[in-house]
Amino acid sequence: MTDSTQQAQSQYQQGVALYESRRYAEALACFIAARDLAPDYLDAHWNECLTRLILGDFKEGWPLHEARWQKNEGRWEPDPAKRGWRHIPQPLWVGEHSVGDASIAGKTICLWAEQGFGDTLQFCRYAPLVQAMGAKVFLYVREPIAKLLRQSYEGTGISVVADTEPLPPFDVHCPMMSLPLACGTDSVTKIPAPIPYIFAKNEDAMHWKNRLTSHIQQGFQGSETSKRVGLVWSGLMRSTNPLAAKMDAERSIDFEYLTPLLSHSQQGLQGIQWVSLQKGGDLPEGAGVLDLTPELNDWADTAALIANLDLVISCDTAVAHLAASMGKPTWILSRYNGCWRWLDHRTDSPWYPSARLFHQSTPGDWAGVVEEVIGALEMHNL
């Protein structure tokens, strides 16, 4: 190992410690120094990317975000033509950053969902912008979310193909999380936020309205004038990926931390009917939360249930993106060292005007977050 490599690793490790302490500007300086010392140091590129994004430096951050294609190959590759999506034979389109012809007028483009459901919901908003450039657009997504996106884009000319279906012919492609780069979102002020852009079907929403009403009539906590608040306390646990598993554990909340919130609503917050949106979540006996999630078959069902709620309170998971993209008031409970997409400890989100962020003040402090949520509910007279 050369001296410069050792120095680069030292700078990188210092940057990681500073990042985890939310000292982002100092962390950024360390990652840049590590990258300068070792230009092929992929982790330095990647962490510089995340730091720039959380600081709102989209101009430099989104190009660096393309480093994700080499994340498992151990080397930063500056040439997009050599990155890891090459199993798709059609050319990659990333706007002016494309290799070759950047124009997509008259072409068919596949915008494909590369990561989780939350990422799909956040970045599918760019499809109309790509369509406005003269392209015929279709989204290629995982099957459980296809119905929801089809009904949301119905009548727009944007089609949706599930990953269980054959891919139709297309000329170029773009992974959804490259769309901010392709569409020139080089500052926070340029985030497209035409909310809502995800919609439940009226007949589906009416079905869930009737289901909620029937439970009230059967004597479940609440009344027809109660405020209905959806609750999510855990994200998907990815046990096969150690780094992802660590993040999943940090963003999820043990249900016991919500006990003061539920108890306070019974004693001091009048008229709240709590509704679980947590698929696969075991509710303790007598929790006072209505759980209809066994009847939720896909994301379209979840959207229809959310359409009947007054507020959604969620940890940082896909349901938060769904509720916020529907324009529903959404309170997101964030870990201390939050996700880059929520920016540096802001309480609002330029991605979702109806969202509000509640951050841990110290690592693991969910009790403090819940206390802040109780105060906010009291203030809003819920």
Tens-digit pLDDT profile for residues 117-129: 999 999 999 999 9
Q: Residue 257 and residue 255: Cα distance in Å, rounded?
A: 5
Instruction: Give the CA distances from residue 175 to residues 68, 84, 110, in Å, rounded to whole numbers and listed in that order.
Output: 12, 12, 8
Q: What per-residue confidence (pLDDT) applies to 78?
A: 56
Tens digit of each residue's pLDDT (9 = 90 or more) over 255-267: 999 999 988 655 5
Tens digit of each residue's pLDDT (9 = 90 or more) over 167-226: 999 999 999 999 999 999 999 999 998 999 999 999 999 999 999 988 754 444 555 567
What's the whole-number mean pLDDT along residues 328-333?
98
Nearest Cα to Cα of residue 15 among 195, 7, 118 = 7
Q: What's the burial of 191, exposed, middle or buried (CB within 10 Å: 0-12/13-18/19+)?
A: middle
Q: Residue 36 and residue 75: Cα distance in Å, rounded?
A: 14
Beta strands in the chain (DSSP E): 108-112, 136-141, 159-162, 172-175, 227-232, 272-276, 289-291, 311-315, 330-334, 355-359
Q: What per-residue confidence (pLDDT) applies to 74?
A: 47
- Common-topology check for domains 85-190 and 202-379: yes
Could you tell me the fold of the domain covering 3-79?
1.25.40
How high does pLDDT run on average in the chain?
Answer: 89
Tens digit of each residue's pLDDT (9 = 90 or more) over 155-166: 999 999 999 999
Q: In degrees to the nearest 10, what's the CA dihedral of 275, 280, 286, 290?
A: 20
Domain 85-190 indexed as CATH 1.10.10? no
Q: What per-residue confidence (pLDDT) applies to 189?
A: 96
Q: Residue 258 and residue 233: Cα distance in Å, rounded?
A: 9
Q: Residue 86 and residue 23: Cα distance in Å, rounded?
A: 36
What radius of gyration do the chain's Cα atoms show?
22
DSSP calls for 33-61: HHHHH-TT-HHHHHHHHHHHHHTT-HHHH
Q: Residue 108 and residue 282: Cα distance in Å, rounded?
A: 45
Position of tokens 């008031």? 329
Q: What per-residue confidence (pLDDT) applies to 239?
A: 52
Q: What per-residue confidence (pLDDT) applies to 40?
A: 87
User: Per CATH, the architecture of 202-379 is what?
Assistant: 3-Layer(aba) Sandwich (3.40)
Q: What percent of the chain has pLDDT over 90?
A: 72
Tens digit of each residue's pLDDT (9 = 90 or more) over 64-102: 998 888 765 545 555 555 555 556 889 999 999 888 888
Q: Whole-model pTM?
A: 0.91
Q: In the chain, where are the structural domains located?
A: 3-79, 85-190, 202-379
Q: What per-residue confidence (pLDDT) applies to 248?
A: 72
pLDDT band at 241 (very low <50, low <70, confident <90, very high): low
